[in-house]
Amino acid sequence: MSLVQEQDSKPKRKPEWLRIKIASGQACSSVRDVVRGKRLHTVCESAKCPNRHECWGTWKTATFMILGNTCTRRCRFCAVDTGLPEMVDSDEPRRIAESVAEMGLRHVVITMVTRDDLPDGGAGIVAKTVDAIRGAAPDCSVEILVSDLMVEPSAVAVIVASHPEINSHNLETVRRLTPRIRSRSDYDRSLCYLKMVKDIDPKAITKSSLMLGLGETPEEVLAAMDDLRAVGVDIINLGQYLQPTKTHAPVDRYWKPEEFAALKASALEKGFLYCEAGPLVRSSYHAGAQYDAFLRNVLADRASTEG
């Protein structure tokens, strides 16, 4: 099917389990005010995340997106703008850290637009952001979600040396669909990034996510899980792909809640220490609670092994 045919096709009707109530209120507004007051970006807004009102209103959390709001890649699932990126803002780490402290966050996710224009892919600014948060909010755990950095060894080493609590990079989709869905990205390069992190620091906690509904089969999802486990990934998130605009890749089908439950069971059987799976799950979905649950699972696993 051509891109024109895909764009002309009638969008599939969303099932009941994907219809969410948009919340608002003072807590939601206060998060937005802090973010905008500090001239920051959140992936919650840029990627049109369906959970942003829940996170901002109920959980008072946000996923900060650094290095601008323009990506150098044009993936067919992503609503973030593509084009000529902005100059690197060296003061951004300080403003992020101040916002984290002001909002009183216990866990923060720092993600980034892909910056293939930079020699280090943006690794230096990511590391400085982690360090700044450590100084301003020492009790806050930090999760980073980065690009593949073209698996430049020195760039990956800088990321690992910043010691985030969780080091994430998303595989996004299965091997067969990667060339069509992910711009200038490579399935094996993503696996290589995750492996390099573990090679540098075997104790690092690594995480990846898959979107379902782009045309993958259950067997391909299970194969992707195996590939992630082969490079030591600890945590996996599985969620439903939602077409952000008519120009993006269409939804092939909506996976049912019970199918996500079955995949979660399979993920845990394969050795992932934690899995979040469901129609509304995204990369940073309930990230703080997820990290707490992961730590409980690790402690339980170690206790059973030692026993």
What's the CA gap between 142 and 287, in Å, rounded?
Answer: 10
**Could you tell me the maximum CA-CA distance found in the chain, to the nearest angstrom?**
60
Q: How confident is the model at residue 106 (pLDDT cuts 50, 70, 90)?
A: confident
pLDDT digits (tens, 9 = 90+) for 64-84: 889 988 888 877 767 677 888
Q: Tokens 């040396």 — which residue?
A: 161
CB contact at 8 A, 69 and 41: yes
Q: What are phi and psi of 247, to 5 degrees?
A: -85, -5
- Per the model's pLDDT, the better-predicted residue between 18 and 238 turns out to be 238
The pLDDT score that the predictor gives to residue 285 is: 62
Looking at the DSSP bridge assignments, the partners of residue 235 are 207, 274
Residue with tokens 């269409």: 250
**How confident is the model over 123-160, as pLDDT tens digits?**
999 999 999 999 999 999 999 999 999 999 999 999 99
State the Rg of the chain over Cα.
19
Most confident of 47-51, 95-99, 260-264, 271-275: 260-264
Which homologous superfamily is 21-302 in? Answer: Aldolase class I (3.20.20.70)
Q: DSSP H helical segments within the chain, as ranges? A: 3-8, 26-37, 43-46, 52-54, 92-103, 123-136, 153-161, 178-181, 187-200, 218-230, 257-269, 287-306
Is residue 147 within 8 A of residue 121, CB to CB? The reply is: yes
20 pLDDT above the threshold of 70: no
pTM here? 0.85
pLDDT tops 80 at residue 57: no
Q: Cα dist. 211→47, 173, 252, 269 in Å?
A: 14, 6, 12, 20
How far CA 152 is from CA of 118, 121, 123, 243, in Å, comes to 11, 8, 10, 32
Predicted local distance difference test score (pLDDT) of residue 77: 67
- In one-letter notation, the amino acid at residue 53 is H
Residue ranges per structural domain of the chain = 21-302
Residue 283's pLDDT band, with cuts at 50, 70 and 90, is confident
Does position 269 have pLDDT exceeding 60, yes or no? yes
Residue that has been written with the tokens 């923060």 in this structure: 108
Residues 266 and 247: their CA atoms lie apart, in Å, by 34
Q: Are the beta carbons of 17 and 242 closer than 8 angstroms?
A: no
3-state helix, strand, coil in the chain (%, to 5): 45, 15, 40
The span from the CA of 292 to the CA of 166, in Å, is 11
In the numeric block, which tokens belong to residue 283? 């990369």
Closest CA to 209 of 176, 168, 250, 181: 168
Q: What percent of the chain has pLDDT over 90?
A: 54
